[in-house]
Structure formats: C-alpha cells, structure tokens
C-alpha cells in the first residue's frame, strides 16, 4: 500500500477544525492542491500512528499558528475527486479523503498564515457566501455553531 495523496490506493484520513469566535469563523486560503486558492477550515492529513485529536492540533498550529481547545465532533465527510477521462483510459480516483471535523476555540496565539496556508482570516459567518470556499463549508460551519452551543 502506498500513501500518495494523488491517485491513492486507499482513502486518506484527514481532520479539520471549525474555529469559532462569536459570529466569526477562522478560515485559511489553501496554498496547495487540492483546493488551492479556495477558503477552507484549517486541517490536513493524519500521520500513521498519530491520534486524530493530536493531528488536528498539529495541523492548526502549522497552518494558523494557534493552539486550540476541541469542543466536540462536528461531522465526518468524504471528498472524492475523479480524474478527467483521457481518451480510452478508465476513470480513476484523483483524490479521496475521509475528513473528521471538530469544533474548536483558540487557547493561545494570534492567527497567522503558515505551512501550506496562503492566508488566514476571521470571516463573519453571515459573509461566507462571499468567499470561494471548499464544498460543504458553510453547512459544516452552521453545524459547528450548533455543536459549539451544546446542541
């Protein structure tokens, strides 16, 4: 089994953090494929032998420079992107991620772009539709608000 991101032989496990501050959510502008140039929640892949919550804290620190407190599980999604067909070649899976998203709050630090994040920004939840976001982001943020309020 190989662990390539592109054309994998098995799904890759990822984590994401919906970091809330009142009516705002912390977003990162992706600096690398997939979804390069789109706004998303911070997150990334889980390393072999790494606990999910540890992976999430690591990814948030790498991308945003902040330590977070996890408030609860928000949701689990899968993202499958198929490669375009080239003539007679069969359709192939280009990317396949199973992503576990948590609601989080900043414990320490000031958000700043790092790692593969091109930019980090607090965005009013009401303005999410003005941003070019990854698929399903607005729905996950709204779900996170409910989870973060104990729902």
Mean pLDDT, the chain, whole residue set: 90
Structural domain includes residue 5: no
143 in Cβ contact with 74 (< 8 Å): yes
Structural domain includes residue 113: yes
We report the CATH number of the domain holding residue 121 as 3.90.79.10
Q: What is the tens place of the pLDDT at every residue in 80-127?
A: 888 877 766 667 888 889 999 999 999 999 999 997 899 999 999 999
pLDDT for residue 2 is more than 70: no
Going by the DSSP 8-state scheme, the letter that residue 142 receives in this structure is H
Structural domain includes residue 1: no
* CA distances for 118 relative to 3, 28, 37, 114, 121, angstroms: 25, 7, 8, 7, 10
- Which one is predicted more confidently, 13 or 86? 13
pTM of the model: 0.87
Structural domain includes residue 2: no
Structural domain includes residue 4: no
């Amino acid at each position: 089994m190989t662990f390539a991101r592109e054309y994998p032989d098995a799904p890759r496990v990822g984590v994401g953090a919906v970091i809330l501050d009142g009516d705002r959510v912390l977003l990162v502008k992706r600096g690398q494929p997939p979804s390069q140039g789109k706004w998303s929640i911070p997150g990334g892949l889980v390393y072999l032998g790494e606990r999910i919550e540890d992976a999430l804290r690591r990814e948030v620190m790498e991308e945003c420079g902040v330590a977070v407190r996890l408030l609860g599980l928000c949701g689990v999604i899968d993202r499958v992107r198929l490669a375009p067909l080239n003539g007679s070649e069969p359709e192939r899976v280009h990317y396949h991620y199973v992503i576990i998203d948590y609601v989080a709050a900043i414990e320490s630090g000031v958000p700043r772009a790092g790692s593969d994040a091109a930019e980090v920004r607090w965005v009013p939840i009401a303005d999410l539709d003005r941003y070019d976001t990854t698929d399903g982001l607005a729905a996950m943020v709204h779900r996170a608000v409910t989870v973060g309020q104990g729902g």
